[in-house]
């Protein structure tokens, strides 16, 4: 496989023995066709997406005009593509390497919206939504978290769905919902008032009784539009219940896979941090020589690369287990907790290499440091994922 290296960086790196950040050649495990596709996606993301998104990040705006290009590279239908788990994971890592917010959009879209409708939806729901979702002409969001229930959502979920002759009546509030400001519909989790079971419903967000408010002034993931969504007696057709998601246990696989997806984000972010930190280290001069010549700078580059490689190889193994149908929540939780913990350390080291410039969005390093905080928290906080692992290895739960 040709080295995964942004062409604009190549001039700085002449004579460097390991020009690409995937130093252990994880991508070489892919079949040749998937390697080619991954390289094409990498080049597109590094040349067209990465340089374009900084100003949107500063303004907390989503570059809607870039969505058709993402779709043209198949990023709206990764979960329908029949490609290997390793390929899908490496694509998620590559999107994150270019921008964490867009990777959140692509990942939630594929893992929790397209994938869930494809596997658990009715034939009518698939016909209605999947064609538009493939091209990003339609966008869905995943509405689970609530203002008063984050880590304890499984037990505490308070949004209700009441079945009537005319349809389901949804009441309640959701918080932090990615793409919630503009999505066409929300896969909404609500408790059925008849049996207290948590079920998932497709709620079109232009229905009467829906209000949505953008959550502004976030320290990270600033391009992704997160929203508070309130449902006040929102009536939806009975057919909008997702037939395969009639209990929380039914969607557990998806929550497990999406946790693994965030593990890939943790790995991909560190590739991006390494790219930028190395680029800066070899080009910035102090004391009459590149700062890359200083031992302390080299130690930090080695630390970032070690963290990134550990994360990438761990995720490659997750992909293999997932491909075999053996991925369980504790393994996904361990991977997510580990790669995002390492991403935080790598981000701090990368930002340090950037010195003063390291705090400016245009150098990407502070942007990636802020985005690392979000990976550490969403899809189950670091603490909760650690406790899931702790329960699995001790047999006792420390959190319920
Ligand atoms: C930018 C962003 C995007 C998001 N996108 C979405 C989305 O698209 N859809 C969606 O449904 N949700 C989304 N979320 C929600 C996310 O999953 C939750 O924020 C997360 O699960 C944590 O919940 P919380 O924020 O309510 O924190 P809390 O649960 O209130 O936790 C606060 C602190 O207490 C700790 N804590 C809680 N319980 C325990 C315990 N038993 N033992 C030890 N420590 C504990 C936590 O680890 C944390 O440090 C998003 C969040 C963010 C920040």
Residue pLDDT, tens place only, 103-126: 999 999 999 999 999 999 999 999
Atom in ligand 1 nearest the alpha carbon of residue 400? 41
Residues 219, 273 share a domain: no
pLDDT at 12: 55
288 phi/psi in degrees, rounded to 5: 75, 15
241 phi/psi in degrees, rounded to 5: -65, 135
Residues 161, 228 share a domain: yes
Counted domains in the chain: 2
Residue ranges, the chain, pLDDT below 70: 1-15
pLDDT at 6: 45
Per residue in 120-139, pLDDT (tens digit) is: 999 999 999 999 999 999 99
pLDDT at 20: 79
Tell which phi-psi region holds residue 94, choosing left (phi > 0), alpha (psi between -120 and 50) or beta.
alpha
Atom in ligand 1 nearest the alpha carbon of residue 152? 29
Judge whether 87 lies within some domain: no
Residue of the nearest CA to atom 27 in ligand 1?
A: 150
pLDDT at 149: 98
Atom in ligand 1 nearest the alpha carbon of residue 381? 47
Residues 381, 318 share a domain: yes
Q: How far does Cα 59 stand from its chain's mean position?
A: 21
pLDDT at 113: 98
Question: CB neighbours (10 Å) of residue 369?
Answer: 25
pLDDT at 19: 73
Residue of the nearest CA to atom 19 in ligand 1?
A: 378
Residue 78, CB-side half-sphere exposure with 13 Å CA sphere = 29
Judge whether 91 lies within some domain: no
Residues 264, 318 share a domain: yes
Judge whether 94 lies within some domain: no
Would the CB of 370 count as within 6 Å of ligand 1? no
Q: Which residues pair with 169 in a beta bridge?
A: 162, 235
User: Which secondary structure element, helix H or strand E, spans residue 176, and what is its range?
Assistant: strand 167-178
Burial class (CB within 10 angstroms; exposed 0-12, middle 13-18, buried 19+) of 74: middle
Judge whether 132 lies within some domain: no
**Residue 399 Cα to ligand 1 middle (Å):** 14
CATH number for the domain that contains residue 322: 1.20.140.10
Which of 213, 247, 281 is the last residue in one of the domains?
Answer: 247
Q: How far does Cα 360 stand from its chain's mean position?
A: 23
Tokens 């550990």 found at: 310
Would the CB of 176 count as within 6 Å of ligand 1? yes
Residues 293, 241 share a domain: no
Within 8 A by CB and 6+ apart from 14, the residues are none
Would the CB of 226 count as within 6 Å of ligand 1? yes
Residues 293, 212 share a domain: no
Would the CB of 378 count as within 6 Å of ligand 1? yes
Which of 247, 270, 290 is the last residue in one of the domains?
Answer: 247
pLDDT at 13: 57
Residues 16, 145 share a domain: no
User: Domain range spanning residue 266?
Assistant: 7-78+251-394
Judge whether 107 lies within some domain: no
Question: In angstroms, how far is the first alpha carbon of the chain from the final one?
Answer: 48
- Best CA proximity match to 105, nearest among 181, 208, 216: 181
Which of 247, 271, 290 is the last residue in one of the domains?
Answer: 247
Residues 153, 212 share a domain: yes
Residues 211, 288 share a domain: no
Would the CB of 177 count as within 6 Å of ligand 1? yes
Percent of the chain with pLDDT over 70: 96
Residues 239, 260 share a domain: no
Within 8 A by CB and 6+ apart from 133, the residues are 76, 77, 109, 113, 114, 117, 139, 140
Tokens 């998620």 found at: 92
Mutation to probe ligand 1, out of 384, 390, 398 (largest number of atoms < 8 A from CB): 384
Residues 268, 237 share a domain: no
Atom in ligand 1 nearest the alpha carbon of residue 382? 47
Judge whether 96 lies within some domain: no
Judge whether 168 lies within some domain: yes
Tokens for 293, please give them.
Answer: 């010549």
pLDDT at 140: 98
Question: CB neighbours (10 Å) of residue 58?
Answer: 13
CATH number for the domain that contains residue 154: 2.40.110.10
Residues 317, 195 share a domain: no
Question: In angstroms, rounded to a whole number, what is the distance separating the alpha carbons of residues 400 and 366?
Answer: 36
Residue of the nearest CA to atom 29 in ligand 1?
A: 151
Atom in ligand 1 nearest the alpha carbon of residue 145? 11
Contact (Cβ atoms closer than 8 angstroms) between residue 49 and residue 98: yes
């Amino acid at each position: 496989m040709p080295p995964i290296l942004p062409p604009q960086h190549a001039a700085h790196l002449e004579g460097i023995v390991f020009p690409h950040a995937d130093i252990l050649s994880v991508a070489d495990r892919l079949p040749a066709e998937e390697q080619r596709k991954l390289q094409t996606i990498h080049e597109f993301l590094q040349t067209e997406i990465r340089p374009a998104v900084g100003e949107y990040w500063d303004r907390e705006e989503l570059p809607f005009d870039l969505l058709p290009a993402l779709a043209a590279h198949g990023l709206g239908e990764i979960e329908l593509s029949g490609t290997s788990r390793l390929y899908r994971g490496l694509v998620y890592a590559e999107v994150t390497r270019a921008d964490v917010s867009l990777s959140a959009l692509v990942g939630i879209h594929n893992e929790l919206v397209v994938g869930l409708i494809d596997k658990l939806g009715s034939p009518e729901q698939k016909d209605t939504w999947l064609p538009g979702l493939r091209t990003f002409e339609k966008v869905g969001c995943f509405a689970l978290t609530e203002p008063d229930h984050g880590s304890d959502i499984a037990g505490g979920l308070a949004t209700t769905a009441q079945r009537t002759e005319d349809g389901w009546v949804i009441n309640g509030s959701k918080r932090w919902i990615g793409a919630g400001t503009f999505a066409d519909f929300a896969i909404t989790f609500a408790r059925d008032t008849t049996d207290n079971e948590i079920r998932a419903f497709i709620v079109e967000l232009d229905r009467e009784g829906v209000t949505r408010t953008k959550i502004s002034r976030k320290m990270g993931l600033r391009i992704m539009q997160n929203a508070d969504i309130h449902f006040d007696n929102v009536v939806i057709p009975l057919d909008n219940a997702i037939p395969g998601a009639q209990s929380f246990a039914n969607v557990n696989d998806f929550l497990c896979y999406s946790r693994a997806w965030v593990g890939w984000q943790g790995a991909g972010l560190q590739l991006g941090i390494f790219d930028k930190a190395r680029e800066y280290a070899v080009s910035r001069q102090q004391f009459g020589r590149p700062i890359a010549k200083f031992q302390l700078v080299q130690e930090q580059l080695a630390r970032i690369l070690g963290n990134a490689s550990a994360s990438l190889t761990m995720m490659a193994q997750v992909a293999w287990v997932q491909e075999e149908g053996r991925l369980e929540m504790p393994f996904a939780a361990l991977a997510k907790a580990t790669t995002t913990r390492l991403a935080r350390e790598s981000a701090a080291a990368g930002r340090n290499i950037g010195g003063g410039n390291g705090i400016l969005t245009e150098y990407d390093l502070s942007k990636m440091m802020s985005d690392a905080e979000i990976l550490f928290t969403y899809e189950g906080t670091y603490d909760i994922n650690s406790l899931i692992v702790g329960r699995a290895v001790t047999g006792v739960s420390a959190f319920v």
